[in-house]
Structure 1
Amino acid sequence: MELILDGYIVMGKMVRKTKPVKERKKGAVDPELVQAAVIEVLVKKQKTLTSAKKYGIPRGTLRGYVTKAEKQNMEIELLPLSFFSPAYVTRKIFTEEQENALASAATCLQIRSRERNCNENQNAAGEDWYRGFMARHSQLAVRAPEATSLGRATAFNRVTVGKFFEKLGEVYRRHRFTAQNIWNVDETGLSTVHKPGKIVAVKGQRQVGKVTSAERGQNVTMCVCVSAMGNSVPPMLIFPRKKCPEILLKGAPPGTIAHGSETASGWMCNELFLVWMNHFISQARPSKANPVLLILDNHISRYSSELLELAKENGVVMLTVPPHTTHKLQPLDRSVMYPLKAFYNRESATFMTQHKCKTISMYNVSELCGKAYPKALTPENIISGFRSTGIFPFDPNVFKDHEYLSSYVSDRPHPLDQDVLVPPSPVSGSRKDDAASQFTDCDNATQSLLGLPSDVDLLADKSFSELVDISPFPKGSPRKQIRRAVKKKSTEILTDTPVKERIRQEEELKADRKCKESQITRSKQATISRVKVNPIMLRWSLMMIVTTV
């Protein structure tokens, strides 16, 4: 075992001694035998010990069921069979079928946790039931979910992903790309304030701290590009300053280029991505005879006519992934960026331990990045990212049905797809019922597509309908037809001639609009300057008026 105590590594051998735990035989007695024994004791007036020996039931268990049955205000023969089933100390609220349905739904849907406070008056499931339920279903565990925006949850659906793989298949049919000619590029931020890892501390202590450089740090953008073969292009570092001396690249990965940014954020822009494209072409050496595929996101820096012309002249085919789906469809996000950030934070923590009372600045980022980069960008991690996204090897069915369930909340009919939009009548029923009735056909189609039972099956299956009543599927409000100032982006091949011409026309319209706005601004300023009154003349006029009065 390796233990890190404030930067020092302590080696030791872990010794584990576990005491064997005897498995408890819960529910070993057949409920039908318990029911027959209780009837003999209460109805036929048999002794408890005699009936217990006859049916092979422990005497204490039978006595407990007899006492429980005597408190009921109904005949013994009319009691349901579930009455004679063991409830243990876990207070099982649901039947075995309902619990299995709940466990299946939790496994597939990852439903939110319910309130654990027990309400005895409403016979609600509480803390005791929760502990017993988790013990009976060992495949479930309580985990901290990763924050996922609503846009990402709803954008990753089968239709959007299908369009991406359709475009990807079209590109493959055109050029027959091999693994060494398929690339993916993305940016990530390296902050001078790292995220501390776990440390050993006193149990029960409220505040456990770890020293960092500052409360807020400066962000350095790193542009990373990898291929499906496991190779990578030397990265590009963008520093939030206009001038970029060579000292900033001290300790950086070999071949790294650096560039300054005119903005304080240090983010990627059109001019900087054009610089990176020239760097990529010099490293990957594409040509029209040997083209390469470059998969990237929908950032505004990718939409430049000058950039697309450069890419097309050098045989770079640019394919964008759908918006808000990079967490699933981009290889770098799947298997490279997280290890890179983890190793960078680890190297930053080591730096803070070895250099007491010294903070991490922009001059140290390249050195820390140079140590973390080769550890994270291994061929295994890179190839795994392309394989898990279905990009290479090409696999349009890499995502299972349950992975699309997060988009169920927004699976609603589009207003343009409906022939007639009939507004809900105020006297027809509740607003919630009217909205739900509009989505019936869409819901059934989605449930059949994802393998969920349809509305008819839900009505037939009482246990599942009760589960839906407990934790209903969330559903968005009806879609509204709105006019967007900016057209919503989608997956497309940017280097295709129609797309490239459309982007060029959009740039011309934007330049004309900016020119007109500047002309209007200048004319307003000229008008204000003409009507501006001389303050000396205004003061003299006021003095004359006062003197006259």
Structure 2
Amino acid sequence: MVFSCGKYFKMVRNYKRKTQSNVDESKMKKAIADVLNGVETPTSASKKYNLKRQTIESRVKKHGHKNVDAIYQSKFTWKQVFTIKEEAELVDYVKKCCYYQYGLSYKNFQKLAYQYAVANGKEFPENWNVNNEAGIDWLHSFMKRNPSLSLRKPEKTSLARLTGFSKKAVDEFYSNLRNLYEKYSFQSNDIYNLDETGITTVVESPKIIAPKGQRQVGQAVSAERGSLVSLVGIINASGNRLPPAFVFPRVRYNPQFLNGCVTGSLGLVSKSGWMMSELFIDVLKHIQNNTKCSKENPILLLLDNHSSHCSINSINYSRENGIHLLSFPPHTSHRLQPLDVSVYGPFKKFVQTSFYDFMTNNPGKRITIYEVAQLTNLPFQRAFKSENIISGFQSTGIYPFNSQNFSEDDFCLAAETNEDALTEPVPLQPDNIVNTSITDPLEPNNSTNVPVSLTPEQIRPISRLNASKITAKTGCSRILTSSCEKKRLEEKAAGINTQSAKRNIQFSGKENIPKNKSKKNKRKKVQPKTRKHKSLVRMQIDSSDESNMSVEYADTDQSVGSFVDGEETSEAVNFSSHEFTDDFELNVGDFVLTLPAQTCKKKVYYVAEIIETLSECTFTASFLRKLDVLQPIFVKPENKDISLVLKSEILFKLPNPVNPASTSRCRTKYIFETDLGGFNIK
């Protein structure tokens, strides 16, 4: 159905023709020629050539006395705003913008089409002038006429990645990979890839069916913001995978974290849930236990340049156990890393579905870090398939080895530099319009000159990156286990330690600097220390006499004293009764002060009771909670906090506590007759 809109026609978007139009174009040309030359009338020509009279009249009226050799494909193409060549220029412009990672949305393209029509002096509907953009009906028709374009949701790509994937960096990676292949003759089952990915307890909800017209559609999730758990995936070029490793955001490890996980998974803990240098050694041990690699049977491990992968201890362990570490160039893992290319994409989609099904089947129940390992079990089995893994190694050119895997066009974006990172549109001027001769398939082939105005790129210059203005991480692909690389990292670590020592010397000499007698330097009244006090920075222990110890503060030059009725005495803390030795014996029922592995600068100590001895260095302990800030009064929580404790985490053994038995409530309290004021105990 066609609606009249002024002198333009508006057709429904999804119009389907009900009749078949099979016009013999050769007969139509002869009929139009006879009518134009006055030999026949439209009626006689229709009878002579067995054509419809209305069709002959329409084409004669449409093209007048123009060349009859033109091919007329549509009755209404003459009402299009742009010609086929002009639409082709728009299509090329849109594709070029997408190539430079600055694609156009529907709104931007409608405004561009309006500016393009104004610059070319085209006739267009009046509503274009009202909104200063092309109409939505024209946009949908344009997309149908050009099926090579489609509306896509782009993947977020950082500026560093856009410029980091350069030919120089990729060639250097392939050169290092070729050298390792030639030296050690690695097979497909000896080539591994390792990478971490984050899993939050709150994922993006999938699309659901909802009532039409409803403004807001909600979906239940566990919380506003979820907790992060890192998953370490390990695959090899033969299509196999190793059990994953999980890094949970906790200080102490709980075996319940791995309930329902993939068989053989490794559980680790860190304060933030991110991979740390100390934890990466455990991952390397996990790999060595599953692959049985050694110096006689080495393997190749491909990973990124994250700082946790490049520690001296990790490199020493890898060299001792036949693990050769090769890093990807910075900001290239989205194209070179098999896990990122073909595995983690489907894995994240399956995780989203798994979390959604759990929330649907368990109304009112939240997803915590205790359910992450179980809910990622099935997605891991489905995403880490042999087909996906082998495809990832092939598409990146790692195995089978293909150093020409990427063409020159893949590096053009990183190679191009432009002084104007984002150029502004140039003003439209009549001098920019050039007169030339063009030929359009919809229009007759004649010799008249048709004015051609600005192209889309002249109206709206394409936004290009200025690589010199992007501050990206510098680096390259490195063989981390090589001798020269190990020496470089050792020198770098030595330089950091030297700078840290200088800062400590300056800090230690701070008390010798005379203070100005001003109002700002007047000492304020000392308040009782609380849990939120953040001035404790370090503890110095004299190696010659471990019993003499003082705690220094960053903002004062006095040692910590004891607290009596909210006032601080000048008497320093006496730790002579504490056993700072590694040879003390622990039995069931002993109380100890522990310092678990932590990532924050402020150390937090815990009091625990030994309830089981697993080995000489491993114990099971029940942790207590501190009730009073000023006095060492502790209590066992209702939900027992039981975890493993290493002997290296135990500072000293506490004396037996005093249990006031005046009331039944006091029998659950423990008071230690020792001064623990210098420790931040929770």
TM-score under structure 2 length normalisation: 0.59
Q: Which residue of 1 aligns with 2:197?
A: 188
Post-superposition shift, 1:128? Answer: 4.9
- Distance in 1 (alpha carbons) for counterparts of 2:144 and 2:19: 13
Q: Is the 8 A contact 1:323 1:490 kept in 2?
A: yes
Distance 1:91 1:403, change over 3 A: farther
1:112 aligns with 2:88: no
In the TM superposition, what whole-angstrom CA distance separates every residue of 1:378-420 from its partner, at most 9, and x where no partner exists?
2222112111211111122333455445446x4469xxxxxxx
Q: Which residue of 1 aligns with 2:230?
A: 221
1:517 aligns with 2:503: yes
1:343 partner SS = helix
Post-superposition shift, 1:147? Answer: 1.9
Q: Which residue of 2 aligns with 1:288?
A: 295
- Distance in 2 (alpha carbons) for counterparts of 1:26 and 1:304: 75
**Aligned-partner residue type, residue 88 of structure 1:** F
Q: Is the 8 A contact 2:25 2:71 kept in 1?
A: no
Q: Which residue of 2 aligns with 1:88?
A: 76
**Aligned-partner residue type, residue 171 of structure 2:** G
The 5-angstrom pairing of residues 99-248 of structure 1 reads 99=87, 103=91, 110=98, 112-113=104-105, 115-116=109-110, 119=114, 122-123=121-122, 127-248=136-257
Of all paired residues, the percent bearing the same amino acid is 32
Q: Which moved more, 1:527-536 or 1:384-393?
A: 527-536
Post-superposition shift, 1:243? Answer: 0.3
- Distance in 1 (alpha carbons) for counterparts of 2:18 and 2:405: 43
Distance 1:101 1:361, change over 3 A: same
Q: Is the 8 A contact 2:259 2:373 kept in 1?
A: yes
Q: Which residue of 1 aligns with 2:488?
A: 502
Q: Which residue of 2 aligns with 1:302?
A: 309
What are the ranges of 5 or more consecutive residues in structure 1 without an aligned counterpart?
1-19, 71-75, 414-429, 434-461, 537-549
**Aligned-partner residue type, residue 320 of structure 1:** S
1:318 aligns with 2:325: yes
2:513 partner SS = helix
Distance 1:339 1:535, change over 3 A: closer
Q: Is the 8 A contact 2:200 2:227 kept in 1?
A: yes
- Distance in 2 (alpha carbons) for counterparts of 1:338 and 1:515: 45
Post-superposition shift, 1:85? Answer: 7.2
Distance 1:534 1:62, change over 3 A: closer
Post-superposition shift, 1:528? Answer: 7.0
Q: Is the 8 A contact 2:257 2:369 kept in 1?
A: yes
- Distance in 2 (alpha carbons) for counterparts of 1:528 and 1:59: 109
- Distance in 2 (alpha carbons) for counterparts of 1:520 and 1:191: 43
Q: Is the 8 A contact 2:29 2:68 kept in 1?
A: no
Q: Which residue of 2 aligns with 1:475?
A: 464
- Distance in 1 (alpha carbons) for counterparts of 2:89 and 2:524: 83
Post-superposition shift, 1:517? Answer: 2.1
The 5-angstrom pairing of residues 248-267 of structure 1 reads 248-261=257-270, 263=271, 265-267=272-274
Q: Is the 8 A contact 2:188 2:237 kept in 1?
A: yes
Distance 1:431 1:209, change over 3 A: closer
2:242 partner SS = strand
In the TM superposition, what whole-angstrom CA distance separates every residue of 1:471-517 from its partner, at most 9, and x where no partner exists?
6543334836x9x8x97111121112222211111111111112222
Distance 1:99 1:350, change over 3 A: same
Distance 1:49 1:374, change over 3 A: same
- Distance in 2 (alpha carbons) for counterparts of 1:330 and 1:478: 23
**Aligned-partner residue type, residue 278 of structure 2:** E
1:358 partner SS = coil
Query: Which has a greater percent of helix?
Result: 1
Q: Which moved more, 1:334-343 or 1:486-495?
A: 486-495
Q: Which moved more, 1:226-235 or 1:57-66?
A: 57-66
**Aligned-partner residue type, residue 265 of structure 2:** T
- Distance in 2 (alpha carbons) for counterparts of 1:115 and 1:517: 57
1:513 partner SS = helix
Q: Is the 8 A contact 2:163 2:467 kept in 1?
A: no
Post-superposition shift, 1:292? Answer: 1.0
2:110 partner SS = coil
Q: Is the 8 A contact 1:37 1:55 kept in 2?
A: no
Distance 1:40 1:241, change over 3 A: same
Q: Which residue of 2 aligns with 1:394?
A: 401
**Aligned-partner residue type, residue 356 of structure 2:** A
What are the ranges of 5 or more consecutive residues in structure 2 without an aligned counterpart?
1-15, 125-133, 427-450, 526-682
**Aligned-partner residue type, residue 37 of structure 1:** I
Q: Which residue of 2 aligns with 1:447?
A: none
Distance 1:188 1:479, change over 3 A: closer
- Distance in 2 (alpha carbons) for counterparts of 1:127 and 1:38: 39
Q: Which residue of 1 aligns with 2:344?
A: 337
**Aligned-partner residue type, residue 288 of structure 1:** K
Q: Is the 8 A contact 2:193 2:303 kept in 1?
A: yes
Post-superposition shift, 1:30? Answer: 7.5
In the TM superposition, what whole-angstrom CA distance separates every residue of 1:86-116 from its partner, at most 9, and x where no partner exists?
5735844554455556656766874535523
**Aligned-partner residue type, residue 204 of structure 1:** G
2:109 partner SS = coil
Distance 1:328 1:177, change over 3 A: same
**Aligned-partner residue type, residue 285 of structure 1:** K
- Distance in 1 (alpha carbons) for counterparts of 2:377 and 2:312: 34
Q: Is the 8 A contact 1:38 1:62 kept in 2?
A: no
- Distance in 2 (alpha carbons) for counterparts of 1:23 and 1:289: 77
- Distance in 1 (alpha carbons) for counterparts of 2:179 and 2:463: 36
Distance 1:22 1:183, change over 3 A: farther
Q: Is the 8 A contact 2:424 2:461 kept in 1?
A: no
In the TM superposition, what whole-angstrom CA distance separates every residue of 1:515-545 from its partner, at most 9, and x where no partner exists?
2223323433553779655679xxxxxxxxx
Q: Which residue of 1 aligns with 2:602?
A: none
Q: Is the 8 A contact 1:412 1:478 kept in 2?
A: yes
**Higher RCO (Cα < 8 Å, 6 or more apart):** 1
Q: Is the 8 A contact 2:328 2:477 kept in 1?
A: yes
TM-score under structure 1 length normalisation: 0.72
Root mean square deviation, CA, Å: 4.1
Distance 1:128 1:513, change over 3 A: same
In the TM superposition, what whole-angstrom CA distance separates every residue of 1:428-447 from its partner, at most 9, and x where no partner exists?
xx9999xxxxxxxxxxxxxx
Distance 1:347 1:535, change over 3 A: closer
Q: Which moved more, 1:339-348 or 1:105-114?
A: 105-114
Q: Is the 8 A contact 1:297 1:320 kept in 2?
A: yes
> How many matched pairs?
460
Post-superposition shift, 1:198? Answer: 2.8
